[in-house]
Structure 1
Amino acid sequence: MKLYFILISGSLKSRMQYKMNFIFSMVSYGMIMAVDFIMLAAILRRFDDVKGWDLYEVGLLYSISSIAISLYRVIGAEVHDFERYMVNGEFDSLLIRPVSPLFLLLTRNIDLSRIGGAIQGLIIIAISVAGLMKTGKATLLLIAYLPVAVLTGLIICFAVGVLTAALAFWTEKIKDFQTFTLYAPFTAANYPMNIYPGLLKIIFFTVIPVAFMNYVPVMYLLQKGGEWWYLITPAAVAGVFLTFSLIMWHIGIKHYHSTGS
């Protein structure tokens, strides 16, 4: 852990050499995500709800998903950009180090510009909880569970990122895969799962289990259905999915052939 913070410190010092660029990137990223939610809010204001979910309820789903993927992009910037390591042969330099390649990737670049998305998500959570408190829907259990939901979402997002990166050991390029494994599923997770057709629901509950980071627990906490174990299942799913992703990552490393071989 000490080594991790030493490497992180070096990465942050490097990033902060260009403060204005960092500030601009953080603000612009947060604004882009804010505009997305404003458009959603405008639609919900017109139609009142989405399959029984009002603006504040959807706001909870949206904010949990936004914070989770933003934090992943902060700590997993190099995992997300792993294609470069395969195309340029940079992965070889990680293999000669006496430390896990995945660990090195997590310490090479902390992209603080993505914090803007997390801050925007926190603001939406605060607004949503305040709105739900007025109608008596925001319980202490719901408020206390929100950090757990964000952490679960972060783990699921990280697991998806690692699993997608592992594909590069066979395909080399993964940018196109990320559209289907990261961008589309986590955008879909901004909304209630009951608006999607059966096949997509199966995918979001099994193949890429984004439904468990926000929809499943929030549905129970807002008394829209479910049982008490809806609150503990997401953590179990996140743990299993992360384990599977790490196994595939290690299998990929064994399959990898150096560019010099």
Structure 2
Amino acid sequence: MSWIQLYIRLVKASLRSQMQYKFNFAFSTVMVLGMFGLEFIMVGTVIQKFGGVGGWSTYEVGFLFALMMYNRAFYRMFASEINSFEKYLVDGMLDQHLLRPIPILLVLMTRQFRPMLGELILGSTLLITCLLHLDASGQLDWRLALLKTLIAIPSGFAITFAFGLSTATVGFWTHRIDDLRRITDDATTNASFYPLTIYPKWMRVILLTVLPMGFASYVPAMHIIRGELSFWTLPATLLLALLLLAGALRFWRFGVTHYQSTGT
């Protein structure tokens, strides 16, 4: 059986398990949709009141918000257990998976697999609304912008996944990674919901070099909706995402070989 076939089977099994609690799934979807929707309404109202933030209009910030909602949704959909990898290291849960003739990463990416409908619905609604408004104002062609966005989304997901996987790998030596994850994942993701122009220079440098989450939303948006960067922005962003992903996977394989059981 190929790894792809095995992955599909494990995902189906995880989905069947999730769907045993249909009310919980529907309730969490509605709650996420309401929570993030209310957050953007509040932020958007403030931005609209002051005529923009960091030189960006409400609909331009909404586009950034939509991109990051997609990144968040796909990361939590395909890698939710990587995001909570500490429990496997601290409680010794990883040991049992090492005994199976299946790559550990494949197992982790199929456990607790569920569609993040709340984020996807909100992201799609925001994306279409913002593109149509910017098109009506003559700032862009919404069809071309949508096509470019569909190219930018996989890049953003790959970058987010690379950071999540690299952070999890550090746990093979430290075991405790939740505090580190709050910096490399939570903090950078939350910062990328908004234009980097609102942050001090040192923080912009970090988000574009050391922890380049700015390439998951801000840099593509500069080209897609503002036309301030060249045609090569999206290909270059995709190349960066692939390099980060390849490096994260290599680091992960190195970390697995150095794992020592907790002894529990």
| Structure-2-length-normalised TM-score | 0.94
Give the distance between the partners of 1:118 and 1:8, measured in 2 at CA: 19
**1:48 aligns to what?**
51
Q: Cα offset for 1:224? A: 4.8
The one of 90, 96, 99 aligned to 1:87: 90
Amino acid at match of 1:257: Q
Amino acid at match of 1:73: R
Deviations 1:40-79 (A, max 9, x none): 1111111111122111111111100111112211111111
Give the distance between the partners of 1:82 and 1:98, measured in 2 at CA: 20
Amino acid at match of 1:138: L
| 1:248 is aligned to 2:251 | yes
Give the distance between the partners of 1:244 and 1:257, measured in 2 at CA: 22
**2:126 aligns to what?**
124
Deviations 1:10-55 (A, max 9, x none): 1000110011011111111121111111111111111111122111
The alignment partner of 2:52 has SS state of coil
Q: Cα offset for 1:214? A: 1.9
Structure 1 segment 44-193 matched on structure 2, within 5 A:
44-112=47-115, 114-139=116-141, 140-193=143-196
**1:13 aligns to what?**
16
Q: Which has the larger displacement, 207-216 or 116-125?
A: 207-216
Q: Which stretches in structure 1 are left out of the alignment for 5+ residues?
A: none
- Given that 1:77 and 1:111 are in contact with CA atoms closer than 8 Å, whether structure 2 keeps it comes out as no
Give the distance between the partners of 2:28 and 2:195, measured in 1 at CA: 30
Amino acid at match of 2:125: I
**1:230 aligns to what?**
233
The one of 28, 31, 38 aligned to 1:28: 31
The number of equivalent residue pairs is 260
Give the distance between the partners of 1:224 and 1:146, measured in 2 at CA: 13
Q: Cα offset for 1:260? A: 3.7
Amino acid at match of 1:128: C
Task: Find runs of 4+ consecutive structure 1 residues off by over 3 angstroms.
Answer: none
Q: Over the residues paired in the alignment, what is the CA RMSD in angstroms?
A: 1.4
Amino acid at match of 2:173: W
Give the distance between the partners of 1:122 and 1:177, measured in 2 at CA: 31
Q: Cα offset for 1:138? A: 2.7
Give the distance between the partners of 1:172 and 1:20, measured in 2 at CA: 35
Q: Which stretches in structure 2 are left out of the alignment for 5+ residues?
A: none
Deviations 1:135-193 (A, max 9, x none): 11232321211111111111111111101111111111211112111111111111111
Give the distance between the partners of 1:196 and 1:229, measured in 2 at CA: 25
